[in-house]
Amino acid sequence: MTAEKTRERKPAARKRAGLKRAPAAPRSTPETRAGHVALVGRPNVGKSTLLNRLLGQKVAIVSDKPQTTRLSLLGIKTTERGQIVFIDNPGIHKPLHKLNRRMMSYVDSSFETADVVCLLIDATLSFGKGDAYVLEILGRTAKPSFLLINKVDAVRKDRLLPLIDKYKDLHPFREIIPISALKGTNLDVLERLLYEVLPRAERIFPEGSVSDQSERFYLAELIREKLLGRVKMELPFVTAVYVDRVERRAAGAPAGEGSRSAAEGGETGDADEAAFSSDAGGKSETRRGKNLEEFSADGEMEREDGAPAPKTPIRAALPDRPPGYREGRTIDGKQRRDLPVTFVQASIFVERPNHRQIILGKEGRVIKNIGIEARRDMERYLGTRVYLDLQVKVRPAWRDSADVLDLIEGQK
Ligand code: GDP
Ligand code: MG
């Protein structure tokens, strides 16, 4: 397929994402290069880590659990040379549920959109059945492909050569590059080589675009990341997060209109929360206060007439910070009490009552910590204080329910 043809598909995705088109391209051959680069590979090889490191921003959530990424997400990097639109994807695996079939359909469509496909592998693991399956899937596309051998920070150099030998016979890779997404090793080389392959074209998205996710989806993902960080192996597969409501309140407005469930992860126990929790009420009913301003003021939620409002793509995402980094007590250097408040109400879906129990934890401790961590990220992202109301709901077999899947995907 020609680059021209591929590019024609892109407006639809852009429209869905609520992103504006870059100004019309002039007729003459542009100086810049631009295109889409799909990141694919097995679960956990480091695709999302790579995306974030390349962008210097946390566009995609990362965890040590498989199937963290469920949709494809764009990460847009604009430089003097042009623009690379990276497509982060769910890990390639054999789909058993409707959810997983959808996840794999994202991989397929990213092959179509991509100008270059980057296959990531984990240098710490030996070649296995899953890798053979991934190569079979990669064989579906004739697009130029790069092999990125990731996590080289964690292996001895002599492990790389046999891997390279193995892979170069199995697929006609255009480049094979050992990288460390975590440490940033060889990412400059990767970027340079990608630009060599991308077509001469004007930038696809206006400068300043970061991703195609809505703010609401991003908030849900931040919660899911903290959840994945705090639960054991099988739970990640059966949990989903849906943000029911986001409302902003002006600075100085009285706080405390929000609801909280018995075991929510809102405030308390966190010294830097004192300013907020002291007047945060703790009422069990949700009421919409007079001075609550719908987040949809900037086009996020449903309009009065029930029609879905256009989505606001996320602004500059969180800075990509090393693991374990802790924020100070102020947000962007401002005192908490001077900041407006955002009220976020979200549901965590699980499939069975015992899953719910695990997420709540003894005396609600697990959910509380999830809430504290998620709220910290949300505050840094929104630049406001955040009042977070988290509820854990049991929805048997949601992974095979088209309705629930539509609802969750619809956030993006
Ligand atoms: P994805 O499922 O392919 O998107 O993988 P993630 O980006 O979520 O990463 C999975 C796990 O691998 C996380 O625990 C990352 O911290 C870890 N990881 C990713 N890249 C590297 C790397 O270059 N070196 C090491 N040592 N770990 C990495
Ligand atoms: Mg991922």
pLDDT, mean of residues 282-297? 32
Q: Is 239 in the pocket of ligand 1 (CB under 6 A)?
A: no
pLDDT, mean of residues 327-334? 64
How far, in Å, is the centroid of ligand 2 from the Cα of 72?
9
Single pTM value for the model: 0.79
332 and 405 fall within a common domain: yes
How far, in Å, is the centroid of ligand 1 from the Cα of 128?
18
User: Distances in Å between the alpha carbon of 20 and those of 10, 183, 186, 303, 381?
Assistant: 12, 33, 32, 21, 22
pLDDT, mean of residues 177-188? 97
pLDDT at 261 over 50: no
User: For residue 410, what pLDDT band results from cuts at 50, 70 and 90?
Assistant: confident
pLDDT at 153 over 60: yes
User: For residue 273, what pLDDT band results from cuts at 50, 70 and 90?
Assistant: very low
In a domain, 210, yes or no: no
Which of 143, 168, 197 is the last residue in one of the domains?
A: 197
In a domain, 112, yes or no: yes
How far, in Å, is the centroid of ligand 1 from the Cα of 142?
27
Q: Is 182 in the pocket of ligand 1 (CB under 6 A)?
A: yes
In what helix (H) or strand (E) does residue 356 lie, and over which residues does it extend? helix 353-360
More confident residue, 367 or 238: 367
Q: Is 399 in the pocket of ligand 1 (CB under 6 A)?
A: no
pLDDT at 194 over 90: yes
Question: What's residue 15's pLDDT?
Answer: 55
Residue 291 to residue 272: CA distance in whole angstroms: 24
How many CB atoms are located within 10 Å of the residue 261 CB? 16
12 and 121 fall within a common domain: yes
Residue of 276, 280, 233 whose CA lies nearest to 256: 280
Which of 143, 170, 197 is the last residue in one of the domains?
A: 197
Q: In what order do the strands lie in the sheet with 240-249?
A: 292-294, 240-249, 341-350, 385-394
148 and 54 fall within a common domain: yes
Q: Is 91 in the pocket of ligand 1 (CB under 6 A)?
A: yes
DSSP state, 308?
B
How far, in Å, is the centroid of ligand 1 from the Cα of 182?
7
In a domain, 209, yes or no: no
33 and 159 fall within a common domain: yes
> Token pair of 364, please?
């609600």
Question: What's residue 254's pLDDT?
Answer: 52
Residue 35 to residue 40: CA distance in whole angstroms: 16
How far, in Å, is the centroid of ligand 1 from the Cα of 64?
7
pLDDT at 267 over 50: no
Question: What's residue 5's pLDDT?
Answer: 43
278 and 248 fall within a common domain: yes
- The answer to whether the CB of 360 falls within 8 A of the CB of 255 is no
User: Distances in Å between the alpha carbon of 48 and those of 156, 167, 215, 221?
Assistant: 23, 22, 18, 13
- Up-side HSE of residue 91: CA atoms within 13 Å toward CB? 22
Residue of 229, 271, 254 whose CA lies nearest to 373: 229
Q: Is 153 in the pocket of ligand 1 (CB under 6 A)?
A: yes
pLDDT at 305 over 70: no
In what helix (H) or strand (E) does residue 87 lie, and over which residues does it extend? strand 82-88
Read off the pLDDT of residues 82-110 as tens digits, 9 standing for 90 and up: 999 999 999 998 888 888 898 899 999 99
Q: Which residues contact 325 (CB under 8 A, 6 or more apart)?
A: none
222 and 191 fall within a common domain: no
**Reduced to 3 states, what is the DSSP secondary structure of residue 97?**
coil
In a domain, 266, yes or no: yes
Q: Is 62 in the pocket of ligand 1 (CB under 6 A)?
A: yes
257 and 405 fall within a common domain: yes
Read off the pLDDT of residues 9-30 as tens digits, 9 standing for 90 and up: 444 555 555 566 666 655 677 8
How far, in Å, is the centroid of ligand 2 from the Cα of 395?
24
Question: What's residue 295's pLDDT?
Answer: 37
User: For residue 4, what pLDDT band results from cuts at 50, 70 and 90?
Assistant: very low
- Up-side HSE of residue 332: CA atoms within 13 Å toward CB? 14
Q: Which of 49, 54, 153 to mutate to test the pocket of ligand 1 (most atoms within 8 A of CB)?
A: 49
pLDDT at 154 over 70: yes
Question: What's residue 170's pLDDT?
Answer: 96
Proximal ligand: closest to the CA of 221? 2
> Token pair of 153, please?
């920070």
What are the φ and ψ backbone dihedral angles of 47, each rounded to 5 degrees? -65, -45
Question: What's residue 325's pLDDT?
Answer: 53
Q: What percent of the chain has pLDDT over 70?
A: 75
Q: Is 64 in the pocket of ligand 1 (CB under 6 A)?
A: yes
> Token pair of 117, please?
């496909």
Question: What's residue 202's pLDDT?
Answer: 95
> Token pair of 268, please?
């308390």
Tell how far CA 211 is from the center of its chain. 9
In a domain, 203, yes or no: no
User: Distances in Å between the alpha carbon of 110 and those of 34, 85, 101, 105?
Assistant: 16, 11, 14, 9
- Expressed as residue numbers, the domain containing 374 is 215-410
In a domain, 254, yes or no: yes
**CATH number for 329:** 3.30.300.20
The number of distinct structural domains making up the chain is 2
233 and 193 fall within a common domain: no
More confident residue, 277 or 169: 169
29 and 93 fall within a common domain: yes
Which residue's CA is the nearest one to ligand 1's atom 10? 44
- The answer to whether the CB of 214 falls within 8 A of the CB of 412 is yes
- Up-side HSE of residue 296: CA atoms within 13 Å toward CB? 13
Give the position, in ligand 1's atom list, of the atom nearest the Cα of 52. 7
pLDDT at 303 over 50: no
What are the φ and ψ backbone dihedral angles of 366, each rounded to 5 degrees? -65, -50
Which of 168, 197, 226 is the last residue in one of the domains?
A: 197
Proximal ligand: closest to the CA of 43? 1
Residue type, 333: G
- Up-side HSE of residue 76: CA atoms within 13 Å toward CB? 24
372 and 237 fall within a common domain: yes
In a domain, 208, yes or no: no
User: For residue 300, what pLDDT band results from cuts at 50, 70 and 90?
Assistant: very low
Q: Which of 58, 62, 100, 185 to mutate to test the pocket of ligand 1 (most atoms within 8 A of CB)?
A: 62
In a domain, 325, yes or no: yes
pLDDT at 296 over 50: no
177 and 220 fall within a common domain: no
How far, in Å, is the centroid of ligand 2 from the Cα of 65?
9
193 and 324 fall within a common domain: no
User: For residue 330, what pLDDT band results from cuts at 50, 70 and 90?
Assistant: low
Average pLDDT taken over every residue of the chain: 80
What are the φ and ψ backbone dihedral angles of 86, each rounded to 5 degrees? -80, 140
How far, in Å, is the centroid of ligand 1 from the Cα of 48?
7
Q: What is the largest CA-CA distance in the chain?
A: 66
pLDDT, mean of residues 194-205? 96
Residue 138 to residue 132: CA distance in whole angstroms: 10
